[in-house]
Amino acid sequence: MIFYFTGTGNSQYAAQKLVSDDERLVSVVECLRKDNYTFEIAENESVGLVFPVYFGGLPVAVRQFIERLRLNAVPAYLYGVLTSGGSPAGAGAMLRDRLGEAGLTLDASYSVTMPDNYVMLYTISPESEEKKILARADRDLERIRSKIAGRRRTFAARSPIGKAMTAVLYPVYLNGRKTAPFTTNETCIGCAACANRCPSRAIEMKDGHPTWVKERCCFCMSCVRCGAIEYGTKLTGKARYKHPMLRKKAGHGEHGAPGAAAHDHGAAAAGHDHGSSAPAAHDHGAAAGGHDHGGDDCCCPPDEAGGTHVH
C-alpha cells in the first residue's frame, strides 16, 4: 500500500511510478476530506508514504494523517519517498520521528528531485529545464522502485546542515500559511474545483465564489493551479505549476506562456515539491496561469472544458 499527498501532482506521479500492479494507492487528501484513517494490511505487506518536502519538513496535512493513521498490523517494510525541488534537508528525520510517535518504525527513506512549484516565491522553470528534471526523476524513481522491492534499509541524506536548515525554515512554514491574502480575480467562474480539492477544508463556496474560511491552510498550492486564484500580488501575471500528467488530463497542449514551467517549495536546498506528477505542458489560459480545464481538474464551463465537469 502506498499513501501519497499531492497538491500539484509531483508526488502523485511519483507514487504511480512506484506502485506495483497488486498494490493499493491511497490519496492522503481523500483520507483527510473523508476522515478515513483506518486500514487493513496483509501479512508481510509493505507500506509507503510519498509526499513533498515543505521548507525542509513535512506538510501539516501529512503530519495530521500520520497522527491519525491506524493499521491492523505492523508493516513488514515501512518507507518514505520525499519529493522536493532540492535537498530534503531534515524532512527524513522528521518523518522518522513522527512515525515513531505514532508507534511505527521507519525502515527506509528516499528522496527524488522534482520541478519546483512554490510560485509564491519563484518564477517557474523553462520547459526545457523542466523536462530534464522530470527525465532524471523518472530514472531515480526506477532505482528507488528496485530498492523498495528489495526492502533495502537506507535513508535519505541526513546531515547536521540539513537539520539546521529545517530548524530555520520549517517554523516559517508552520507560522505562515495564512489564507487572508487569498482572493479571486475577475476570471473566476465559481466552479468550486479549488474548494473540492482543498485538503484543509479551508475553502467554502459563498455566493458562487470561493471564500477562505480558515486562518491557515497547509499551503499545498492545489488551489493556485488555477489562474483565477491570487495571493496578494505574489501571483499576479505568473504562470502556475501542475505536473504534466495533470495538464494532459485537463487537455492542455504545450506551454502557453513564455518561460512557463514549474516551481516547488522552499529554497534551492529545501524547496516544496507541491503536489504532484512527466513531461508535457502547463495550464496557461491567461498570463496568470489560466484555468484548470476539463477532466479531473475542471474549473471551466462545459463549452470551454469540452465536456461535463468532473470535480
Rounded average pLDDT per 10-residue block, the chain, 311 residues: 96 96 95 95 96 95 97 97 90 95 96 91 87 96 97 82 87 94 95 94 94 95 92 91 80 34 36 40 37 42 28 25
CA angle 212, 63, 92 (to 5 degrees): 130
Q: What pLDDT sits at residue 72?
A: 96
Q: Which residues on adjacent β-strands are paired with residue 81?
A: 50, 110
Contact predicate 291/278, CB 8 Å: no
Contact predicate 274/52, CB 8 Å: yes
Contact predicate 91/58, CB 8 Å: yes
Structural domain boundaries in the chain: 2-114+123-172
Contact predicate 136/143, CB 8 Å: no
Per-residue cell: 22: 497488486
The CA distance from 191 to 295, in Å, is: 13
The CA distance from 268 to 250, in Å, is: 29
Angle at which helices 60-68 and 91-101 cross, to 10°: 30
CA angle 251, 252, 258 (to 5 degrees): 175
- Closest Cα partner for 123 from 205, 235, 48, 223? 235
The CA distance from 199 to 191, in Å, is: 17
Position of cell 491567461? 286
Position of cell 495538464? 247
Q: What pLDDT sits at residue 165?
A: 86
**135: alpha, beta or left, given left = phi > 0 and alpha = psi -120 to 50?**
alpha
Phi, psi of 229, deg, nearest 5: -100, 130
Cα-Cα-Cα-Cα torsion 249, 273, 151, 60, nearest 10 degrees, comes to -110
Helix boundaries (H) for the chain: 10-18, 28-34, 60-68, 91-101, 127-149, 160-175, 193-197, 244-249, 302-305
- Which whole-number Å values give the CA distances from 27 to 2, 36, 296, in the listed order? 9, 10, 14
Position of cell 512515525? 99
- Closest Cα partner for 146 from 20, 277, 41? 20
User: Which residue type is seen at 123?
Assistant: T
Helices (H) and strands (E) in the chain, counts: 9, 11
Count of positions (residues) in the chain = 311
- Which whole-number Å values give the CA distances from 137 to 144, 145, 277, in the listed order? 10, 12, 10
Q: What is the CATH number of domain 2-114+123-172?
A: 3.40.50
Give Cα 158 to chain centroid, integer Å.
Answer: 22
Q: What pLDDT sits at residue 143?
A: 97
Q: What pLDDT sits at residue 164?
A: 87
CA angle 219, 277, 299 (to 5 degrees): 65
Angle at which helices 160-175 and 91-101 cross, to 10°: 70
Q: What pLDDT sits at residue 265?
A: 35
